[in-house]
Amino acid sequence: MTSQTTDRFSAGTITDFMRTYGALIGMVLVLLIFYWIKPTFLSPANIVNVLRQSTILIILAIGLTVVMSMRGVDLSVAQVADASGLIAAMLIIHGYSIWLAFTLPLVFGLAVGIVNAILMAYVGIPAIIGTLGMMFIIRSGELMATNGAEPQMLFTLPRAITKPFLFLGQGMVGPVAALVMLAAVVVVLALGLMHLTPFSRRARAVGSNVRAAFLAGIDIRWVFGCGFMVASLLSSIAGVALVSRTGIAMPRGAEPYLLDAFAAAYLGTLASRHGHMNIFGTLIGALFIAFLSNGLTIVGLGAPYRFALNGGFILLAMAVGSLKRKS
């Protein structure tokens, strides 16, 4: 045991330190540049603002991380979030109870997750293809339901009707925004799921060596399928939260989050010793992406830079990750 502990901490050389924490330091440096250009970037008000905005991305990216840690991938997460928000908004607009507006989208999310699980885990369709197909099926459904992407506005409704629904996105629990609370709860639950449950071990086994996991008596299809169910369920939560924050459900409005979520998950691998997908890393990655896009907006750079930088960061994370794995 002692030999091992020294082994873990003898990594005190600079290269090893950089290998472990270099990415984090890099992220902080990038954010400090924005601070240097525009000091308001790190003002408390802006930080709180970004934290609230980042909730949706955090939840989506965590769902994606669960799938990707098993070598799956889910391209439909943003579309599920989109459709879930839409369902919530339409339920409220058509006078259904708030209770239903919170639960029915989650039922929808779970249902999509189950279909994805069947397609990928039981039929065996490669996840890139199957979830891409699912993404387009949901998109068609949305377009038809909204007569070609008409926005569903909640803020034009009487405040009394929408208030309980908008509380999630706009209210405060004591000194903390309800959205931030939601993100914290999801992060804690996800950390628990992926570190403290029997599922976490099985999922890691499926992600590392599916054949060995199968022969060790693990129900690989069920475990792999669970990943899709978790991802879709979390996406629907994120979608409801998004609409609750903005008060408007724009069909296809959540699609940009897909690419951000990928960037967050891949950046998150940098926070792991061996370059694996992990919840904590994804949290860091999502926060970084959220602050980055806010910073870009503050200094007057728009979507093009966000896309390009996100893409660049994914490639960078992969390049660094492959160096880590080689060592």
Partner 1 sequence: MVTPLETAGPAHAIECRAIRKSFPGVLALSDVSLSIRRGEIHALLGQNGAGKSTLVKILTGVYQPDGGEIVVDGKRVQLRTPSDAEANGIVIVHQDQQLVAQFDVTQNAFLGREIISAGGLLNMRAMRRAAKIALDRVGANFSPDTLVRDLSVAQREQVAIAAALLRDPKVLVLDEPTASLSEAEAELLFSIVRALRDDGVTIVYISHYLDEVLDLVDRITVLRDGRLIETLDVAGVSRGDLVQMMVGREISQLYPKEEVAIGGPLLEVNDLRQGQAVRGVNITVRRGEIFGIAGLMGAGRTELAMALIGALPRAGGQVTIAGKPSDPGSPRAALREGFALIPEDRRHEGLITDMTVRDNLTLPNIARWSSFGLLNLSREVRDAKDLIGRLAIQPPNARQLTRNLSGGNQQKIVIGRWLLGDTQVFLFDEPTTGVDVGSKVEIYRQMVELARRGASVIFISSDFEEITGMCDRAAVMHKGKINSILERDELSTETLLLRASGNSGDEETADTAETVLPDTPDATITPAGSVLGNWGTIVGMVLVLCAITFFAPGFLNPGNIFDVLKQGSVLAFIALGLTVVLIAGGFDMSAGAVSQFTTNLAAGTLSAGMGSLAGIAIGGVAGIVLGFVNAALVLILGMPPFVATLGTMFVTMGATLLYNGGKALTLYNQPEFFFLGQGYVGPVPFVFILLAIVTLVLHIVLRKTRLGLRMYAVGQNLAAAELRGIRQKRYAFASFALGGLVLGLSGVVLAAYSYGASALATGIDFLISALAAAFLGSTLSKAGDLNVIGTVVVALFLASLSNGLIQIGVSDQALPGIQGIVLIIAIALGVIRKRGIGQVLIF
Q: Give whichever of 57 and 168 is closer to partner 1, judged by the CB atom.
A: 57
Nearest to 182 by CA among 33, 57, 322, 5: 57
* Residue labelled with tokens 């902080």: 28
Q: For partner 1, which is the closer residue by CB, 28 or 126?
A: 126
Task: Return the number of the residue (102 or 219) whose C-beta is nearest partner 1.
Answer: 219
Report the residue number, 280 or 307, with the smaller CB distance to partner 1.
307
Q: Which residues pair with 173 in a beta bridge?
A: 176
**96 vs 312, beta carbon nearer partner 1:** 312
As measured in angstroms, the least distance from the Cβ of 254 to partner 1 is: 14
Cα-to-chain-centroid distance, residue 137 = 21
Q: How far is the CB of 96 from partner 1 (least distance, A)?
A: 24
Pairwise CA distance, residues 83 & 166, whole Å: 17
Smallest separation, CB 44 to partner 1 (Å):
31
- Say which residues have a Cβ less than 8 Å from residue 137's Cβ, sequence separation at least 6: none
Task: Please report how close the Cβ of residue 95 comes to partner 1 at its closest, in angstroms.
Answer: 25
How many of the other CB atoms lie within 10 Å of CB of 246?
Answer: 19
Tell me how far, at minimum, the Cβ of 53 lies from partner 1, in Å. Answer: 20
Element (H, E) at 153: strand 152-153
In the complex, minimum distance from the CB of residue 207 to partner 1, in angstroms, rounded to a whole number: 8
Between helices 256-268 and 77-93, what is the axis angle to 10°? 130
Comparing CB distances to partner 1, the nearer of 79 and 84 is 79
Residue 153 backbone dihedrals phi, psi, to 5 degrees? -95, 130
Distance (Å) of CA 46 to CA 31, 126, 178: 13, 41, 17
